[in-house]
Chains A and B, each alone.
Chain A
Amino acid sequence: MSLTPAPGAAVQHAPSIRRRLFWLLLPVTLVVWLVTALNIYSDTQKEIEELTDAQLAETARALLNLLSHEYYEERNFLHKEEKNPVLPDTQKIPQRLAATLHQYEQNLIFQMWVEDDDLILRSEQAPDIRLTKKQNGFSDENFGGHDWRVFSLSDPEHKMLVQVAERQSKLQQLKEYIARRILFPVLFALPFLAWLVWFSVGRAMRPLNRIATEVGLQDVGSLERIAAHRVPVEAKPLVDALNALFDRLQRAFENERRFTADAAHELRTPLAALKTYAQVASREPDHEKRQLALLKVIQGVDRATHLVQQLLTLARIDPNRWAPQGPPIDLGVLSSERLAAMSGQAMDKQIELSLSSTSPVYVRGDRTMLDILITNLLGNAIKYTPMHGAIEVDVESVGDEVVLRISDSGDGIPEQDRDQVFERFYRRERGSTPGCGLGLSIVHRIVDIMGAEIRLDDSELGGLLVELRIRQCMQDHGGDAK
């Protein structure tokens, strides 16, 4: 059973800018569009209703004016003719008038009432009962199975009432038509918009794919910067960061490569010397000379051992082991311990050692690394100080730093060589003093990891002064070590 998740699942959960933009842009666009469409629709609807109402009112007024006049003329005429105030034939007059009112079509109906109950005139489709009980104004009614918009207008002077109605369904049709006209483009545009978003985002992301390809093609051995031209502004920080990383890696690789080559060289040379002396010893007939050669072999083994030890130390200095939050360490105490441990070597050369320390001065860090650091510096001082010389170690607190000074009465290092001595395998005077040229590189590496500072100068004793500055850890915070 495989524990690795299916690749498909991983892809589904991975955030996608394209999908995100797609799902962000599309609904927002849709909502904005719909709200706009709805607004337009409702505005239009209102406008149509008002227009219709205005039309109804106008029609009613026109009818009233026209028909009341005609009706009274006709009644007067009938009065004269027949002296009988008979109601006009409701069928007859509308037909005659129907021709003139044809433009209103069947959607528009009207009634004309006299004295409240005489329907003297009506359009063909109009029922013979009142359209609305209302005397004046608009109302919505239902008759003959349809919804109507009705407008009543009464003329109290002539005791006439005109009612005009327009079928709502016609209005509805108009509204629906307009709504369709507004919404159709949206429906067509939406898939197009979706495609456009998908496509353009994909296109915008293409430089990222190019960058990915370029990064993928990078050879670990020779990292090359990604060309910054044609990179979109948004991706530039990424490219810049990658390029900076490549530069750093390139330097690190270069450094490692050089180190390996140097280490090979530095290991092979003592081996070659060992072999040579061993061969010299094996063929030397003279006993004394043979002993001398054998002594050289033994010394050579010691030196090679020291070299291997230093190489291992250098390799083991691990930045991750440096614990800025570690327990505080009294640098004064540590220095005196180291000094005591190395006093034997100093005594062999009758070197006068002295330590002055304003204890306690606390720093944080890895004890082993601090040990290596101080041992190397002291070892160097002892090595380069001549017989009957002097070495002074001084630990004090200056501001928020702990300053460790090691001065010796050796030959010192000329100013122009001071930068180089920290380089791996650099030895100023090869052969004159035993050493592998790694001690100060080890010191430098530890100092780097600690974020401390190291400075070389002339000492008052005439030799070299090594000044180390480490950030101090305040005692009251440091007392409660976890």
Chain B
Amino acid sequence: MLGGGLQSGLTQDGYAVDWVKDGGAAELFLRTEEYEIVILDLGLPKKSGLDVLKHLRSEGGDIPVMILTARDSVEDRVKGLDCGADDYMIKPFDLDELNARIRALMRRRSGRAETKITHGELVIDPASHTVQLGGKPVDLSPREFTLLEKLLESRGRVLSRSQLEQSLYSWKDEVDSNAVEVHIHHLRKKIGSEMIRTVRGVGYIIDKVARE
């Protein structure tokens, strides 16, 4: 029930969320899909969240992990963090706070401390989901925003269509084969066509340094 709520809440913020209900399935998905963050409830059936976490870290997975736990004792929290968690939240938590912490974890992961991402004339603020181009606000849909954010966070790196698809859609969503192209098309209309370059046969890239 909590999972369903989280999925709805995070989807509202434009994240693509996969929700699995036990430790075994979690490991399977972590092996087969690519994620940017894991939100892990420790009270999982079959395999405990801590075991999933330990296994993930022992396999060398460096994906940020946020723990959700009902156990609020210091030892429990310390244990969770020592097992490889990056952050924890105690139930019941605030969805906005969870969101902020997720943003912080992703920010750190992309190696910056600045909350806003600036690229030439373009400034995007993941916290408020706002985009400005030359000081003027640009209105983006949640998926367009996610796409832009993802490309900006990996500036100078080509992202494949499937990588972008995974960050836009959960595995349950029915995805049109040209969904990414459609979103890129809309994005280019709104922020200018030069910023996002198509690398034919591979994917899309935003250059490391904005062209003047």
Is B a genuine binding partner of A?
Answer: yes
Give the Cβ gap from A276 to chain B, nearest Cβ, in Å: 3
Set B4, B72, B90, B95: member contacting A279, Cβ < 8 A: B95
State the CA gap A429–B72 with chains docked (Å). 26
Give the Cβ gap from B147 to chain A, nearest Cβ, in Å: 21
User: Are B1 and A270 in contact, CB atoms less than 8 angstroms apart?
Assistant: yes
Set A273, A299, A427: member contacting B2, Cβ < 8 A: A273
User: Are A427 and B45 in contact, CB atoms less than 8 angstroms apart?
Assistant: yes
Is B71 an interface residue when CB atoms closer than 8 A count as contact? yes
User: Are B9 and A276 in contact, CB atoms less than 8 angstroms apart?
Assistant: yes
Across the interface, name the chain B residue whose C-beta is closest to A275.
B92
The A261-319 residues at the B interface (CB cut-off 8 A) are 261, 264-277, 279-280, 283-284, 289, 293, 296, 299-300, 303
Is B12 an interface residue when CB atoms closer than 8 A count as contact? yes
State the CA gap A203–B1 with chains docked (Å). 67
Is A431 an interface residue when CB atoms closer than 8 A count as contact? yes
Is B171 an interface residue when CB atoms closer than 8 A count as contact? no
Residues from chain B with Cβ under 8 Å of A276 in the complex:
2, 5-6, 8-9, 92, 95
Set B12, B70, B92: member contacting A280, Cβ < 8 A: B12
The B82-114 residues at the A interface (CB cut-off 8 A) are 90-96
Looking at B1, B6, B12, B70, the one whose CB has the most chain A CB atoms below 10 A away is B1
Is A430 an interface residue when CB atoms closer than 8 A count as contact? yes
State the CA gap A277–B95 with chains docked (Å). 9
A contacts with B, residue count (CB < 8 A): 29
With A265-B43, A272-B2 given, is the CB distance from A279 to B94 under 8 Å?
yes
With A264-B71, A265-B70, A430-B21 given, is the CB distance from A296 to B91 under 8 Å?
no
User: Are B70 and A264 in contact, CB atoms less than 8 angstroms apart?
Assistant: yes
With A276-B95, A279-B94 given, is the CB distance from A284 to B12 under 8 Å?
yes
Across the interface, name the chain B residue whose C-beta is closest to A283.
B12
State the CA gap A431–B41 with chains docked (Å). 14
Residues from chain B with Cβ under 8 Å of A279 in the complex:
9, 94-96
Give the Cβ gap from B91 to chain A, nearest Cβ, in Å: 4
State the CA gap A254–B105 with chains docked (Å). 37
State the CA gap A279–B93 with chains docked (Å). 11
Across the interface, name the chain A residue whose C-beta is closest to B22.
A430
Q: Is the interface of A mostly helix, strand, loop or mixed?
A: helix
Looking at A265, A272, A279, A431, the one whose CB has the most chain B CB atoms below 10 A away is A272
User: Are A271 and B5 in contact, CB atoms less than 8 angstroms apart?
Assistant: no
The B1-48 residues at the A interface (CB cut-off 8 A) are 1-6, 8-9, 12, 21-22, 41, 43, 45
Across the interface, name the chain A residue whose C-beta is closest to B45.
A430
Across the interface, name the chain B residue whose C-beta is closest to A303.
B1
Return the CB mask of B62-75 against A: 1 if under 8 Å, else 0: 00000011111000
Looking at B3, B43, B94, the one whose CB has the most chain A CB atoms below 10 A away is B43
User: Are A296 and B94 in contact, CB atoms less than 8 angstroms apart?
Assistant: no
Residues from chain A with Cβ under 8 Å of B3 in the complex:
431
User: Are B5 and A268 in contact, CB atoms less than 8 angstroms apart?
Assistant: no
Residues from chain A with Cβ under 8 Å of B95 in the complex:
275-276, 279-280
Across the interface, name the chain B residue whose C-beta is closest to A271.
B92
Set A273, A283, A427, A429: member contacting B5, Cβ < 8 A: A273
With A272-B92, A276-B9, A284-B12 given, is the CB distance from A265 to B1 under 8 Å?
no
State the CA gap A303–B71 with chains docked (Å). 20
Across the interface, name the chain A residue whose C-beta is closest to B90.
A268
Residues from chain B with Cβ under 8 Å of A427 in the complex:
45
Residues from chain B with Cβ under 8 Å of A274 in the complex:
92
With A279-B94, A284-B12 given, is the CB distance from A272 to B68 under 8 Å?
yes
Residues from chain A with Cβ under 8 Å of B70 in the complex:
264-269, 272
Across the interface, name the chain A residue whose C-beta is closest to B41.
A269
User: Are A272 and B9 in contact, CB atoms less than 8 angstroms apart?
Assistant: no
User: Are A280 and B93 in contact, CB atoms less than 8 angstroms apart?
Assistant: no
Set B4, B91, B96: member contacting A269, Cβ < 8 A: B91
With A268-B91, A279-B94 given, is the CB distance from A296 to B2 under 8 Å?
no
Give the Cβ gap from A449 to chain B, nearest Cβ, in Å: 29
Give the Cβ gap from A267 to chain B, nearest Cβ, in Å: 8
State the CA gap A151–B41 with chains docked (Å). 119
Across the interface, name the chain B residue whose C-beta is closest to A281.
B8
Residues from chain A with Cβ under 8 Å of B71 in the complex:
261, 264-265
State the CA gap A270–B93 with chains docked (Å). 11
Across the interface, name the chain A residue whose C-beta is closest to B68.
A272
State the CA gap A284–B8 with chains docked (Å). 10
Residues from chain B with Cβ under 8 Å of A266 in the complex:
70
Set B22, B45, B93: member contacting A275, Cβ < 8 A: B93
Residues from chain B with Cβ under 8 Å of A273 in the complex:
1-2, 4-5
The 9 A-B pairs with the shortest beta carbon distances in the complex, nearest first, are A276-B5, A272-B91, A265-B70, A272-B92, A268-B70, A273-B2, A268-B91, A279-B95, A271-B92
List the interface of chain A (C-beta within 8 A of B): 261, 264-277, 279-280, 283-284, 289, 293, 296, 299-300, 303, 427, 429-431
- Since A268-B90, A271-B91, A280-B95 are in contact, a sample of 5 more A-B pairs with Cβ atoms closer than 8 Å, ordered by chain A residue number, is A265-B71, A272-B91, A276-B8, A284-B12, A431-B3
